[in-house]
């Protein structure tokens, strides 16, 4: 019996010694940005749902709302013929402004390639989400920041899916969505049926679970927080059947999204407060910028211009403030159709008049509009890249935590137990968390110190007989 007790005591000492330090699951570690992967998306999905303006009680019945319209689930590739504006960005050298190496890859997915890889019946918009998710995932897990440019907002689901796959369900992810439109319609609230107007919904867990699952490659959490900036064209209405209001602002509130109006965005104090509230909730940020977030005077020929937006200088300043959080892993710039022909009559219907130049031909006006828009794109991308210095590291296991303690003798039968946990991060950062507890003489128990549970045995008056972090 005495031999058995000795073995137990020896094993106990070995166990206690081995638990002295503990690799805890902690905050995602930020590290210096060392390289960038640029993904030029040259394909877009043409899928559309039966929106409210398609339901007329005859051709389309109310129970068809929420279904993909037959014949629309197509892939348009390459979507941008001769991507002049993308070449301009590269030739202007703005991808090098971060001061780190970069690589450029083009994402072109043809219908034939999608059918061969995923099957003829697999939704093509989901196939595109999978492809883009892979591009983002591969970049992040290779230690790169990822910049996605091109096409409309619908690919945001694939981008976000790649971020979630790379960082995992335990990481708190946030999306900052700068757009003149809400893009958070559900299949049942949409008027247009456009998937480019409903991509934020699956990212924050409101709708389209199958689209999100396709982007993630399985069941994974939606994003944990969201901030929407400068939405000034938000769908809304009254449901004819229930008589209840519906709309994108309701959806934003339901998702717990922090909403910054254009007025908020233009007010430095308000914007800073909303950004801090958001950034404090998350470890990793995906920054999504639709070019139409800027007032349409700076984007004359974007596809969906909206008046009343911020000027380019405010947008640049606020992009910098986002990058300065050091939590941005991915940036996407959407709606950069700057090479398209400027259509004065179409934009006039949307309330925008492009100032004429005496003696200028229609082609010259179109060229001038493109040049102004390209300059705006360069300014936005440049601001992001110049201020992109750190990214959250994928696969960071958190700090190595080592506990220590001492007992201060008091009068009577109680003492003060002071416990400290020293955290050493992979980037060299050191943090110490300390707490003091009133304990009885010779007490043994588990105590909460910061995010840790620490077991301490003080038997032997003021001695520390055993200490370790409880997993």
Q: What is the pLDDT of residues 340-382, one digit of tens each?
A: 556 666 666 666 777 788 998 877 887 788 788 888 888 999 9
Rounded to an integer, what distance in angstroms lies between the CA atom of residue 40 and that of residue 87? Answer: 10
Whether 412 maps to a domain, the answer reads yes
Rounded to an integer, what distance in angstroms lies between the CA atom of residue 306 and that of residue 312? Answer: 14
Cα diameter, the chain:
107
Q: What is the pLDDT of residues 373-401, one digit of tens each?
A: 888 888 999 999 999 999 998 876 556 78
Find the range with the poorest average confidence among 67-71, 267-271, 297-301, 442-446: 297-301
Domain region containing 409: 399-469
- If you average pLDDT over residues 251-265, what whole number do you get? 97
Tell me, yes or no, whether 361 and 423 share the same domain. Answer: no
Tell me, yes or no, whether 73 and 175 share the same domain. Answer: yes
Of 392, 417, 449, which closes a domain? 392
Of 392, 417, 442, which closes a domain? 392
Tell me, yes or no, whether 329 and 451 share the same domain. Answer: no
Find the range with the poorest average confidence among 86-90, 156-160, 418-422, 442-446: 86-90
pLDDT at 328 over 90: yes
Tell me, yes or no, whether 290 and 348 share the same domain. Answer: yes
Whether 252 maps to a domain, the answer reads yes
Q: Residue 62: which pLDDT band, with cuts at 50, 70 and 90?
A: confident
Of 392, 413, 439, which closes a domain? 392
Q: Residue 255: which pLDDT band, with cuts at 50, 70 and 90?
A: very high
Strand, coil or helix: what is 407?
strand
> Which residues have CB under 8 Å from 269's CB, separation 6+?
none
Average pLDDT, the chain: 85
Sign of CA dihedral 304, 308, 314, 320: negative
Tell me, yes or no, whether 338 and 457 share the same domain. Answer: no
* Cβ–Cβ under 8 Å, residues 417 and 440: no
> Which residues have CB under 8 Å from 255's CB, separation 6+?
184, 201, 204, 205, 206, 226
Whether 3 maps to a domain, the answer reads no
pLDDT at 174 over 70: yes
Tell me, yes or no, whether 344 and 453 share the same domain. Answer: no
| Whole-number Cα distances in Å, 6 to 16, 17, 348, 371, 444 | 15, 17, 90, 83, 21
Whether 238 maps to a domain, the answer reads yes
Q: What is the pLDDT of residues 397-437, one digit of tens each?
A: 556 789 999 999 888 888 999 999 987 765 556 788 899 99
Find the range with the poorest average confidence among 167-181, 197-211, 331-345, 349-363: 331-345
pLDDT at 151: 83
Tell me, yes or no, whether 349 and 286 share the same domain. Answer: yes
pLDDT at 152: 86
* Cβ–Cβ under 8 Å, residues 149 and 94: no
Tell me, yes or no, whether 387 and 403 share the same domain. Answer: no
Whether 23 maps to a domain, the answer reads no
pLDDT at 399: 65
- If you average pLDDT over residues 100-115, what whole number do you get? 93
Helices and strands (H and E) in the chain: how many: 13, 21
Q: Domain holding 273: CATH number?
A: 3.40.800.10
Tell me, yes or no, whether 256 and 292 share the same domain. Answer: yes
Whether the model clears a pTM of 0.85, i.e. scores above it, the answer is no
Burial annotation 130-162 (CB, 10 A radius, 16+ → b, else e): bbbbbbbbbbbeeebbbbbbbbbbbbbbbbbbb
> Which residue has better confidence, 51 or 114?
114
Q: Residue 10: which pLDDT band, with cuts at 50, 70 and 90?
A: very low
- If you average pLDDT over residues 88-117, what whole number do you get? 90
For 269, list phi and psi in degrees, rounded to 5: -65, -45
Whether 16 maps to a domain, the answer reads no
Tell me, yes or no, whether 327 and 434 share the same domain. Answer: no
Rounded to an integer, what distance in angstroms lies between the CA atom of residue 403 and that of residue 468? Answer: 6
Highest mean pLDDT among 92-96, 179-183, 448-452, 467-471: 179-183
Tell me, yes or no, whether 180 and 299 share the same domain. Answer: yes
Q: Where are the alpha helices (DSSP H) in 239-311?
A: 248-254, 262-266, 268-279
Tell me, yes or no, whether 406 and 320 share the same domain. Answer: no
Per the listing, tokens 């007032």 go with 295
């Amino acid at each position: 019996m005495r031999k058995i007790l000795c073995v137990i005591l020896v094993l106990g000492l070995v166990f206690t010694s081995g638990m002295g330090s503990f690799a805890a699951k902690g905050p995602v570690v930020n590290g210096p940005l060392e390289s960038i992967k640029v993904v030029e998306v040259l394909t877009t999905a043409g899928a559309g749902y039966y929106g409210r303006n398609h339901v007329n009680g005859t051709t389309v019945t109310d129970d068809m709302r929420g279904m993909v319209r037959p014949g629309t689930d197509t892939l348009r590739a390459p979507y941008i013929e001769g991507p002049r504006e993308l070449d301009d960005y590269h030739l202007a050298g703005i991808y090098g402004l971060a001061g780190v190496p970069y690589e450029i890859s083009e994402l072109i997915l043809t219908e034939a390639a999608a059918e061969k890889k995923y099957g003829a019946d697999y939704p093509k918009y989901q196939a595109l989400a999978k492809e883009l998710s892979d591009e983002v995932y591969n970049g992040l897990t290779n230690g790169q920041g990822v910049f996605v440019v091109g096409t409309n907002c619908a690919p945001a689901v694939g981008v976000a899916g790649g971020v979630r796959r790379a960082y995992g369900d335990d990481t708190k992810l946030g999306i900052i969505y700068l757009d003149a439109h809400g893009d958070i319609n559900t299949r049942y609230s949409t008027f247009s049926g456009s998937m480019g107007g409903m991509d934020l919904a699956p990212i924050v867990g409101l709708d389209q679970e199958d689209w999100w699952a396709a982007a993630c490659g399985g069941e994974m959490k939606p994003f944990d927080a969201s901030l929407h900036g400068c939405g000034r064209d938000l769908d809304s209405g009254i449901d004819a059947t229930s008589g209840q209001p519906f709309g994108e602002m309701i959806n934003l509130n339901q998702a717990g999204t922090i909403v910054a109006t254009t007025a908020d965005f233009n007010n430095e104090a308000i914007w800073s407060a909303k950004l801090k509230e958001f950034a404090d909730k998350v470890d990793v940020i995906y920054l999504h910028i639709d070019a139409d977030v800027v007032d349409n005077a700076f984007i004359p020929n974007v596809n969906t211009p909206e008046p009343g937006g911020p000027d380019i200088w405010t947008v640049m300043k606020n992009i910098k403030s986002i990058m300065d959080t050091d939590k941005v892993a991915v940036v996407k710039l959407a709606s950069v159709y700057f090479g398209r022909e400027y259509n004065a009559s179409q934009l006039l219907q949307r309330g925008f008049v492009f100032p004429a130049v005496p003696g200028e031909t229609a082609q010259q006006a179109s060229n001038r509009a493109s040049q102004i828009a390209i300059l705006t794109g360069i300014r936005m991308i440049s601001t992001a890249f110049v201020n992109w210095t750190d990214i959250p590291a994928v696969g960071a296991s958190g700090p190595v935590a080592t506990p220590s303690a001492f007992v201060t003798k008091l009068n009577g039968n109680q003492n003060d137990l002071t416990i400290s946990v020293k955290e050493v991060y992979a980037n060299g950062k050191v943090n110490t968390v300390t707490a003091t507890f009133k304990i009885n003489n010779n007490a043994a128990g588990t105590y909460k110190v910061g995010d840790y549970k620490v077991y301490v045995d003080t038997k032997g008056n003021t001695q520390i007989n055993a200490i370790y972090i409880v997993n």
